[in-house]
Structure 1
Amino acid sequence: MTLTSRGLWRFLLFLSGYLLFLVLGASVFSAIEGPEELQKVQSLRNLRATFLNNHSCVSDQALEDLISEVVKASNRGVSAIRNATGEPNWSFGQSLFFSSTVVTTIGYGHVTPLSRTGKIFCIIYAMIGIPMTLVLLSALVERLLIPTIWLLQWLNSRLGHLYQPFNIRILHLLIIVAILVGFFLLVPAAAFASIEPEWDYLDSFYYCFISLTTIGLGDYIPGDTADQPYRPLYKIATTCYLFLGITVMMLTLAVFYDIPQLNLGLLFTTNEDTNSEKVRLASAGLGLQYGAGTFSPQNEDNTHRQVVRVRSRRDDSPSPEDPGPKDIRLP
């Protein structure tokens, strides 16, 4: 069996496992959330019946029409319990937060453009903003890779004589993951839990994870509680946190995929793909780390010349004028 056919069978096996994973997830979510949904539905029915019994002057159809309008407005980002008397969704702070969720593809969905002009502008803005954001995040990751590579080199210098390179790579990855979890999940979750009155720590951690992975379900939005102090400043600070957190998340993924043993995508490459990748890396002078194109003067020097160490054969006796091997630099 050739490498190409092995890669195809591995891909089909992975695809089957992925579909099974989706079915498993759907089954688990249905089993967990189904009873909770039925309980909420029954609770709303009881509240509706109680309201109609206490207010006999209100007909069932009138209440139904009111609820329908409230639900439609809520789906468009307008809440009857807040926005009718509170701060509008499209203040500058709220709009800046919305713009950041669009260009980072988080897309909470709790606030959406209401006008046709706003929808058209959102399409154009996303088409321009998303590529610009990807370029910005890639540039930030490339610069953050420099101290990350320094850390890996320091670990190699300290632990290279004790552990295999793969084990040092794993330790390096664990350090990066610990920084991500500690400073961009655990600590921000504690901050959100203390600021948001209706969030506990699990809700806050859930929001941080869903946001930094750009899932953006939109069930938890910071700064949307009534009478939120310093709401515009809070929204701007949250926007900065999202940009930094997504950048560190991309950095962690770059370090992860740079470890060949953990990069499952290599299992599906063909022999031609492998050879072309080797040629590309060779033409780059092997001066790249983590695929980000990190540059250093040392790397540029290595691409122009090589060092060849010339040693005498064993049967040759060393000359007094030649105490050891010489370095001959080839242009």
Structure 2
Amino acid sequence: MPNMLLGAFPIGTKSGANNSTSNNKNGKCKFLLLCGGYILFLILGAAMFSAIEAPKIDAISKRVQSFRKQFLQSNACLNDEDLEEFLKAVITANDRGISPLRNATNEMNWSFGQAFFFSSTVITTIGYGRVTPLSQTGKIFCIIYAAIGIPLTLVLLSAMVERLLVPARWLLGTFNSKLGHLYQPFNIRLLHLSAIVFIVITLFFAIPTAVFAYIEPTWGALDAFYYCFISLTTIGLGDYIPGDGVSVDNRSMYKIFISGYLICGLIAMMFMLTIFYDIPQLNLGQLFTESTNGETEKLHLSSNNTTCYSGPSGLYMPQRDEDTRRAIVRIRPHGDDSPSPDEAPSSLNSGIRVP
């Protein structure tokens, strides 16, 4: 008869089952609360945006219609249908990077600099949407390029963040050695996070805001900061794009530098979020996943053939094979005196091996 292996002996099975059921219920309630709060947040955002922006867009629409009517009255030889066709042609050309203004740049969307900028917005998932492929071949290539480039970008961002964590950990160790006798570890971690946030905001928000407000002729400080935030959070609305102004010199080179800024800024944002989530007290995701952590961990352990059992201090998870062998009970039937390969010589005559 083969040896029988008992993987785990749960302690307090009935109370453990009750606790597990209670945790599952709490987890479901928290999850439903999170979903409800998220939907409510969307509804609140929609209501606020509608209340703030609807009056302004209505005013602009009325002003445009009034200007069109006055233009037709001033030019009686022009009928409404001809004006409509002209406006359609202008809007279509503008969407494709061709400005009808006399002092506009002659550089089109698909020059090398413009194409480089477009490529960077695709693989970083910013996707402003102001410039899009027009041909069927371009659309197919965009799909293939994004399918390869987006995972590649994630790999690059992760690799860069791992390297940035080295000086970040050194800074945290310095804070601990200098301030550990004065403050709690959580307070030191908050100080460390504040230092990282200050550096990121200064390098990728404050300084670029000043630069964009200076270079872009129609941008104010708020517009420039708005662009930095919308871009580095990968929202990418596309209402503000550097280099689309009619008086920007060396547009292609400018676009290439903007692409570098976007990639470095995304690395900095990912790095800052990593530091944030390294602080357990600030990781709100654990609040909605803690009830299922035990079950998930058990499934993970079982998939790796690792033994675990419940004890007075909670879930015990052996880390090594030797620990696993000591954490189980082997029962050998009578008459089978041959030792298992991993049994010690002192247990040759023992029928039951207990840690």
Render the CA deviation track for 1:96-152: whole Å, top value 9, x for unaligned: 000000000000011000111100100000000000001001100010011011111
Note the C-alpha offset of 1:163: 1.1
Spell out the pairing of 1:62-73 with structure 2 (5 A cutoff): 62-73=82-93
Q: Deviations over 1:236-269 (max 9, x none)?
A: 1111111111000000111111111111111122
* Candidates 103, 110, 119, aligned match of 2:123: 103
Letter in 2 for 1:81: L
Q: Percent identity over the alignment?
A: 58
Deviations 1:207-255 (A, max 9, x none): 0000000100000110111132121221111111111110000001111
Q: Tell me by how many angstroms 1:83 deviates.
A: 11
In structure 2, the residue matched to 1:41 is 61
| 1:55 is aligned to 2:75 | yes
| Residue identity in the other structure for 2:293 | D
Corresponding position of 1:120: 140
What residue in structure 2 maps to residue 298 of structure 1?
Answer: none
Q: Contact (CA 8 Å) 1:77, 1:112: kept in 2 or not?
A: no
**Structure 2 CA distance for partners of 1:255 and 1:215, relative to 1, 3 Å:** same
Q: CA 1:243–1:274 in 2, change beyond 3 Å: closer, same or farther?
A: farther
Structure 1 residue 69 displacement after superposition:
3.1
* 2:176 paired with 1:156: yes
Rounded to whole Å, the distance in 1 between the matches of 2:180 and 2:300 is: 28
Aligned AA for 1:48?
A: R
When residues 266 and 182 of structure 1 are mapped into structure 2, their CA distance, relative to the original with a 3 A threshold, is same
TM-score scaled by structure 2? 0.75
Inter-CA distance 83–128: structure 2 relative to 1 (3 Å threshold) = farther
Distance change in 2, residues 1:272/1:44 (3 Å): closer
Q: Which has the higher contact order (CA 8 A, sep 6+)?
A: 2
Aligned to 2:113: 93
* 2:23 paired residue number: 3
C-alpha contact (below 8 Å) 2:103/2:246 kept by paired residues: no
Offset at residue 4 of structure 1 (A): 2.1
Q: Distance in 1 between matches of 2:42 and 2:281?
A: 25
- 2: distance between equivalents of 1:270 and 1:226? 54
Provide the C-alpha distance between the structure 1 equivalents of 2:286 and 2:243, rounded to a whole number of angstroms: 43
1:28 is aligned, of 43, 48, 52, to 48
Number of paired residues?
Answer: 282
Give the counterpart of 2:274 among 254, 267, 273. 254
Alignment partner of 1:199 out of 196, 214, 219: 219
1:268 maps to what in 2? 288
Q: 1:180 Cα deviation (Å)?
A: 1.3
Q: After TM superposition, list the pairs within 5 Å mapping 1:303-322 onto structure 2.
A: none
2:27·2:291 contact (CA, 8 Å) conserved in 1? no
1-side partners of 2:153 and 2:122: how far apart? Answer: 10
Cα separation, 1, equivalents of 2:246 and 2:173: 50
Indicate how the Cα distance of structure 1 residues 278 and 140 shifts in structure 2: closer, same or farther if over 3 A, else same.
Answer: farther
CA contact (8 A) 1:189 1:204 kept: yes
The CA deviation at 1:67 is: 1.8
Structure 2, gaps ≥5 residues long: 1-20, 302-319, 321-355
Q: Does the CA contact (< 8 Å) of 1:83 and 1:89 recur in 2?
A: no
Deviation at 1:73, TM superposition (A): 3.9
Structure number with greater Rg is: 2
Name 1:138's counterpart in structure 2: 158
**TM-score for both structures, normalised by structure 1:** 0.80
Whole-Å Cα distance in 2 between the matches of residues 196 and 244 of structure 1? Answer: 21
2:34 pairs, out of 14, 18, 36, with 14
Relative to structure 1, is the Cα distance of residues 115 and 186 closer, same or farther in structure 2, using a 3 angstrom cutoff?
Answer: same
The structure-2 alpha-carbon separation of the partners of 1:204 and 1:278, relative to structure 1 and needing over 3 Å to count, comes to: farther
The one-letter code matched in structure 1 to 2:62 is Q
Amino acid at match of 1:153: G
Letter in 1 for 2:185: P
Q: What's the CA shift for 1:68?
A: 2.5
Q: CA deviation at 1:84?
A: 8.1
